[in-house]
Amino acid sequence: MIDLTVVILTKNEEKNLRKCVESFRGIVKRFVIVDSFSTDSTEKVCNELHHELSAFGSRLDYYQHEFVNHAEQMNWGLSNTCISTKWSMKIDADEELTEALAKELAEKLPLVNEEVNGIILRRRVYFMGRWIKHGGRYPELLLRIIRTGEGACEQKIMDEHMIVYSGKVVQFNNDFIDNNQKSLEWWIAKHNWYSNKEVQDYQSMMCGEEVTKIEKEGISSNQAMAKRHLKNGGYYKLPKFWRAHIYFLYRYYIKLGFLDGPEGKIFHFLQAYWYRFLVDAKMYECEKKRMRMEPQNELKV
């Protein structure tokens, strides 16, 4: 059993949570669920999973906490749920380990050098059941495992990352999977919500209110830092609306997104001509009306 606690944030995740927890194949000591008052059967699923895990010497503890944003929710979970294991891991309810990664964690994590405080993992994204392997989407390199007490989630409105305060980070070889089981309607509602957060994040950055904590206070993956610099220092300097078009051409043609078939076309089209264009439209509206985007509560879907 790995000396690891896995922290999962939930809100109406009855369709995803079981496959997430079961993908660890009983190799970790503890799961912590931080739930923002789900209205579906999430709590029931947690109780069932706790009973099942207990037979293997593991456990699942269920907490409820009011949602402010993802960073605060994650940091509350890391600080207020009595984590005593050597390592802590962030994973989303719609994510899961591959069998190869579960085996790699079991073999390698207990042997990690004491000077290492963070583990970077590789994520592959599925959309409408298909692996989005092209378009520059794979692999996503994300810091997801930290030595307990040596890191946190950076306080950022959008695209927040786990960071470690000091020490080294290393990368493991195998993948975990983002494979949400909810509908396309849910995906669209979620990204409409994300677009408000994106505008709020941009406005905060332009007013000097947003602290980029990866650079200032901690260490994350080099890919995460590069993407943030590219977005803030490159993408946002391009003309509104045109940049969504450029984004699609880059992802779909130059980075070969078309190789992922109809699902890839839908994914990259919606990412560019719906989500990115919607962000620009909301920015334009805010500028025209000289208003600030209101802080966003949790997603109501």
Tell me whether residue 68 is in a domain: yes
Tally the domains of the chain: 2
Query: Of 120, 144, 178, which one is at a domain's C-terminal end?
Result: 178
CATH number at residue 50: 3.90.550.10
- Residues 28, 101: Cα–Cα separation, whole Å: 13
**Residue 190 and residue 167 share a domain:** no
Average model confidence (pLDDT) across the chain: 92
Nearest to 125 by CA among 140, 145, 143, 105: 140
Helices 277-289 and 184-206: crossing angle in degrees, nearest 10, is 50
Q: Which pLDDT does position 214 carry in this prediction?
A: 46
**Residue 174 and residue 28 share a domain:** yes
The answer on pLDDT for 213 being more than 80 is no
**Residue 17 and residue 155 share a domain:** yes
Tell me whether residue 298 is in a domain: no
Q: For 157-175, what is the mean pLDDT?
A: 93
pTM for the whole structure: 0.91
Query: Of 161, 178, 195, which one is at a domain's C-terminal end?
Result: 178
User: What SS3 state is found at 268?
Assistant: helix
**Residue 271 and residue 162 share a domain:** no
**Residue 134 and residue 39 share a domain:** yes
Percent of the chain with pLDDT over 90: 80
Q: Which pLDDT does position 297 carry in this prediction?
A: 75
The predicted-structure confidence for 26-44, as pLDDT tens digits, reads as follows 999 999 999 999 999 999 9
CA 73, 74, 75, 78 dihedral sign is positive
**Residue 92 and residue 10 share a domain:** yes
Residue 238: phi and psi, rounded to 5, are -80, 160
**Residue 137 and residue 21 share a domain:** yes
**Residue 215 and residue 280 share a domain:** yes
Domain boundaries, position 166? 2-178
Query: Of 178, 202, 223, which one is at a domain's C-terminal end?
Result: 178
Tell me whether residue 301 is in a domain: no
Tell me whether residue 299 is in a domain: no
**Residue 106 and residue 217 share a domain:** no
Tell me whether residue 77 is in a domain: yes
**Residue 217 and residue 130 share a domain:** no
Tell me whether residue 126 is in a domain: yes
Q: By mean pLDDT, which of 42-51, 231-240, 270-279 is the weakest?
A: 231-240
